[in-house]
Amino acid sequence: MKNSPPLAGMPIAIKDNICTKGVATTCASKMLKNFVAPYESTASNKLWSSGGICLGKTNLDEFAMGSSTETSSFGVTSNPWDINRVPGGSSGGSAASVAAGFCAAALGSDTGGSIRQPASFCGVVGLKPTYGRVSRWGLVAFASSLDQIGPITNTVSDAAEILYSISGKDPFDSTCLDKPVPNYLTDLNKSIKGLKIGIIRECFEHPGLNPEVKESVLSGVHRFKTLGAEIVEVECPRFNDGIATYYVIAPSEASANLARYDGVKYGYRSNEASNLIDMTSKSRAEGFGDEVQRRILIGTYALSAGYSDAYYKKAQKVRTLIRKDFDNAFKKVDLLLTPTCPTTAFLKGDFVNDPLSMYLSDLLTVPVNLAGLPAISIPCGFDTKGLPIGMQLIGNVLEEDRILNAANIFEIDAQVIKNRSLF
Amino acid sequence: MNFNSLRKEITKNNASVKELVSDIFEKIDHKDPEINSYICITKDSAIEQAENIDKLIQNNEELPPPCGDANCD
């Protein structure tokens, strides 16, 4: 394979909100059930150019809105570690397929934790790159200032390979950064002696954090210390405001992005309508599921005249404060460390009728999206039920190489997942 | 399953890319109904692409233009 392309023969799955030419791209929604993408996304195209083999399209929460893959109109995905539990979401199909050995790697998308949270629940590696590192061309838009495509893999090294393949400037996406792409494999094994890792105090003091998760992640912190890293406690006072901020900004952007699904040009069209307005209204009511409709309603309200200052603009101001917290933290440390999720995988149906509790699953991941930073989730242990626990490493803008290096050193030393053959 | 383990299988001639990909699809066919991780699989185009890569590896040639232009099985 000396002269072969870098990913020659590697079997890869693609989340079904990423366009693949000539293949159905449904977003797990009745609205796009019969939509066949007329073009290839830049990220997947780069994988195929590198020799990757497309195995198929993976399940997700409808339009990537959810944390359990239970809102898919194609049925719930099960967690391979315990089929009574959810795989997380929204990239639950991608994480479950990697964990179950149904592919070597998968692409996911991360708007508020949708790569890292399912990676944590399924005991695999999930990387959310810096906003703009990977082109969003061909990613069906949910919240455009937050969305980012990234890899879900079994090893940190595989995540580095995928990231290297899919990163870089793209003339089709004006938000894609025109910055050189380093070979992320080069420094993977570099010593982390002297690396300053910041522990965000607010995360570990949160009352919603499961004690077993906390203990496991703190054991991971101790391991980093023995590997030569310097551990520093840092404060991010606005970190826990992330959820409230996110659930104004993301639905606002979603309400605008999903306005295009009106039953006119493509997507589901109701047969029950008697006029144009009725057709649009019924097509949207019948084509979208409950969670998508809920977020469109929240977003439309937050952006409406008389309320946008109180909600959307205020949320944008808090977003800036969250970003400033990270800026201040990165003046003191090289990386930040938190649990990926407050809990391990929960049972199917636990939060279906309690969306606010479901939203808290992304408590520790959304601030990263709001600040546009890169972050990775890697397995760091198990709870007493045998379910995997994830640890999140957050880097400064475009410092994926540093995250991958630390994660790889940890992965090699800890050997958390010894047997990946779940089936 | 990871990239390095798959590459070892391929370079040691323990398995062709087509065989590896076919094995995965067999696993998906048998086990994924329980997990429901895939909405659709692109078996025919994947096997075709695997055969192309096997030829490439055998002949040490460059890969043909990008694929991903496939129909859902």
Give the pLDDT score at A361: 83
Q: Would you say residue B40 lies in a domain? A: yes
- Rg (alpha carbons) of chain A, rounded to whole number: 20
Inform me whether the pLDDT recorded for A338 exceeds 60: yes
For chain A, say whether B58 makes contact (Cβ under 8 Å). no
Provide the pLDDT confidence category of residue B62 given band limits of 50, 70 and 90: low
Contact residues, chain B, for A3 at CB < 8 Å: 60-62
pLDDT at B59: 80
Q: Does B59 touch chain A (CB under 8 A)?
A: no
Q: What are the φ/ψ torsions at residue A139 (nearest 5 degrees)? A: -90, 120
- From the candidates A41, A50, A90, A91, which is the catalytic residue? A90
Residue of A114, A216, A255, A283 with catalytic role: A114
Q: What would the two tokens of residue B57 be? A: 């590896």
- List pLDDT tens digits, range A187-200: 999 999 999 999 99
Secondary structure tally for chain A: helices H, strands E: 13, 10
Predicted local confidence at residue B66, as pLDDT: 39
Cβ–Cβ gap A9/B10 under 8 Å: yes
Contact state of B46 with A53 under an 8 Å Cβ cutoff? yes
Report the distance separating Cα A42 and Cα B66, nearest Å. 11
Phi, psi of A245 (to 5 degrees): -65, -45
Confidence of residue B64 (pLDDT cuts 50, 70, 90): very low
Yes or no: say if A310 and A266 are a contact pair by the CB < 8 Å rule.
no
> What is the C-alpha to C-alpha distance for residues B37 and A312, in angstroms, rounded to an integer?
35
A314 touches chain B (CB under 8 A): no
Q: Does A171 touch chain B (CB under 8 A)?
A: no
pLDDT band at B65 (very low <50, low <70, confident <90, very high): very low
- Give the SS3 label for residue A53: strand
Domain total of chain B: 1
Establish if B69 belongs to a structural domain: no
| Domain A11-235+333-414, classified CATH 3.90.1300.10, yes or no | yes
Token code pair at residue A131: 């906003």
Tell me whether strands A196-200 and A230-234 are parallel, antiparallel or unpaired: parallel
Instruction: Say if B42 falls within a structural domain.
Output: yes
**At A322, is the secondary structure helix, strand, or coil?**
helix
Measure B30 CA to nearest chain A CA, in Å: 10
* For residues B12-19, average pLDDT: 86
Does residue B71 register a pLDDT over 70?
A: no
Catalytic site includes residue A332: no
ipTM: 0.93
pLDDT at residue A136 greater than cutoff 70: yes
In a domain, B35, yes or no: yes
A137-170 pLDDT, tens digit each: 999 999 999 999 999 999 999 999 999 999 999 9
Structural domain includes residue B70: no
**Contact, A362 vs A370, CB < 8 A?**
no
Contact of B42 with chain A, judged by CB distance below 8 Å, is answered with yes
Q: Where are the alpha helices (DSSP H) in A304-363?
A: 314-332, 355-359
CB distance A259 to A284 below 8 Å: no
**pLDDT at position A3:** 56
Rounded distance, CA A248 to CA A204, Å?
Answer: 25
Q: Is the pLDDT of residue A419 over 70?
A: no
Average the pLDDT over each of A90-104, A297-311, B22-36 and give the range with the smallest value: A297-311
More confident residue, A31 or A3: A31
Which of A15, A57, A282, A348 is catalytic? The answer is A15
| DSSP-assigned letters across all residues of A226-291 | HTTPEEEEE--TTGGGHHHHHHHHHHHHHHHHGGG-SSSSSS---SS-SSHHHHHHHHHHHHS-HH
**Lowest mean pLDDT segment, chosen from A37-51, A114-128, A344-358:** A344-358
Whether residue B39 is contained in a domain is answered as: yes
Beta bridge partners of A232: A198
B32 inside 8 A of chain A by CB:
yes
Nearest-CA distance A326 → chain B (Å): 33
- Selected for mutation to probe chain B from A4, A32, A36, A82 (highest B CB count within 10 Å) is A4
Per-residue pLDDT tens digits for A63-115: 999 999 999 999 999 999 999 999 999 999 999 999 999 999 999 999 999 99
Give residue B15's pLDDT: 86
Task: Give, as one character, the DSSP assignment of residue A62.
Answer: G
A128: distance to nearest CA of chain B, Å?
19
pLDDT at A420 exceeding the cut of 70: no
> What is the number of CB-based contacts under 8 A between chain A and chain B?
181
Please give the DSSP secondary-structure letter assigned to residue A300. Answer: H
B35 at A interface, C-beta within 8 A: yes
Given a contact cutoff of 8 angstroms between Cβ atoms, the answer to whether A365 and A109 are in contact is no
At A5-18, the pLDDT tens digits run 689 899 999 999 99
Domain that holds residue B54: 3-59
Dist. CA B21–CA A87, nearest whole Å: 24
C-beta atoms of A104 and B3 within 8 A: yes
pLDDT of residue B5 exceeding 60, the answer is yes
Please give the Cα distance from A187 to A211 (Å, whole number). 34
Domain extents for chain A?
Answer: 11-235+333-414
What tokens were used for A326? 């990270």
Does residue B72 sit within a domain? no
- B15 and A CB contact within 8 Å: no
Task: Specify the pLDDT at position A188.
Answer: 95
Written as one letter, the residue type at A238 is: R
- Percent of residues, chain A, with pLDDT higher than 90: 87
Closest by CA position to A116, among listed A125, A105, A104: A125
Task: Respond yes or no: is residue A90 known to be catalytic.
Answer: yes
pLDDT digits (tens, 9 = 90+) for A55-65: 999 999 999 99
Q: Report yes or no: A58 and A274 within 8 Å, Cβ to Cβ.
A: no
Give the separation between CA B10 and CA A410, rounded to whole angstroms. 28
Q: Is residue B71 part of a domain?
A: no
